[in-house]
Amino acid sequence: MKELIIKNGTLLDKACGLLYEKKDIRISGGLIAETGTDLSADGCELLDASGMIVSPGFIDVHVHNNLKPQFGHENEAPALDSIDELGVYRGASTVIEAGSWCIDDFDEFLEKSGAANSRYYTLLSAHGEDGFGSLGSQDIDRIIPEHYYELCERYPELIRGLKLACSNTMTGDKGYGLCRHAKMIASHLGLPLTVHIGSFPPDPLGIIEFLDEGDVVTHTYHGKQISLFKEDGTPKEGVLRARDRGVLFDVGHGSASYSYPVAEKAFKKGFLPDLIGTDIRALNIGGPVYSLSAVASKVMCMGVPLEDVVYKITGAAASAYGLEGLGSLRPGCTADIELFEIVGCALKLPDCAGELQPVDRMIVPKTVIVSKGGESRAFGACLVSHPQ
């Protein structure tokens, strides 16, 4: 569809000053042409958004569909048939693969990204040219910066940063040196470095000291040995210093990296995430992650206003990874658009340790519009995108 009118929806895009405004959106040539009241639908295909909230398309900054059965992932479930099962069919217009593609298999990523209905980007693995590999293969002198420079300069639109998993199960005591090396490569490229923190060693508070403005810490609210927070939820000094430098903090829920008690206490102390990535994959798609909308609903039900939650999975996500033209309902931007409802419920959703979090409202995607090559296509979020 080249010309499309979305009518009768309630627009929500905090960055544009659209806070629950009843307006229409006209899409032309894959771009948002205008927003306004009672726009003419003459010659356009009509999409009725009555009873729904209309926002920029949701962006999941942390997905995995290429984890191999090797070091750290021996029990990983097989990849899903298509990245769309983590993207448009689960309510996200855009997904970013968080470090499971590497230099050696980048041709395969090009094929899969080209075939995807979802908008599909990647953070390149900073563990080496063959990916996670094994501890023995993660020798810094085998991670050649020039190879990263060459690939990133060839595909700047697709590679949105580097990713390093600094956890005992991934890097052992090599985490500090690997992080320093990855940061040097990312800085040369002008790209953000996303760092997974987890089991000691290394000390996550030490790893954070390598990071600067625009870099991302993921798995912020994990429940492992060395927390970013004191017992009462107060962020530790190194965390506050990092946020002052402009380091961003992502939820990164996953199968083992989100603790409801940790998050609840930290939220009460005012330390909210900048980004809401899921760390979704085949292994946890049936719980405890479910979908981006389910993780975002957990954040919302800890007291974060819906308009702020939506901004974190749209405008903030696009800004963090330099996705120009996305994450906004501003005229001239790419027409990636979300139609969703807020549905009351009485659920108790598990965190990664089985602790149950009360959830009384769910963000439920209904239609996802993705615009590529001047064409806009609408997809129903037809897979189960939230727990029943």
Q: Is the domain 3-56+330-342+362-380 a CATH 2.30.40.10 member?
A: yes
Is residue 92 a contact partner of residue 367, using CB atoms and an 8 Å limit?
Answer: no
Whole-number Cα distances in Å, 303 to 29, 265, 279: 38, 12, 22
Backbone angles phi, psi at 360, to 5 degrees: -105, 0
Q: What is the pTM assigned to this prediction?
A: 0.96
How many angstroms separate the CA atoms of 298 and 79, rounded?
26
Domain covering 59-320: architecture = Alpha-Beta Barrel (3.20)
Backbone angles phi, psi at 165, to 5 degrees: -100, 100
Backbone angles phi, psi at 341, to 5 degrees: -120, 155
> Nearest 5°: CA angle at 32, between 26 and 33?
60
Any idea where the domains of the chain sit in the sequence?
A: 3-56+330-342+362-380, 59-320
State pLDDT tens for residues 184-230: 999 999 999 999 999 888 999 999 999 999 999 999 999 998 999 99
State pLDDT tens for residues 240-294: 999 999 999 999 999 999 999 999 999 999 999 999 999 999 999 999 999 999 9
Is residue 301 a contact partner of residue 268, using CB atoms and an 8 Å limit?
Answer: no
If one counts every other C-beta atom within 10 angstroms of the C-beta of residue 276, the result is 30
Q: Which of 43-47, 95-99, 229-233 has the lowest mean pLDDT?
A: 43-47
Is residue 127 a contact partner of residue 138, using CB atoms and an 8 Å limit?
Answer: yes
**Burial class of residue 287, CB neighbours in 10 A (0-12, 13-18, 19+):** exposed
Q: Which residues contact 146 (CB under 8 A, 6 or more apart)?
A: none
Characterize the bridge pairing of strands 45-48 and 53-56.
unpaired
Q: Which whole number is the average pLDDT over 136-165? A: 91
* Residue 75: pLDDT over 80: no
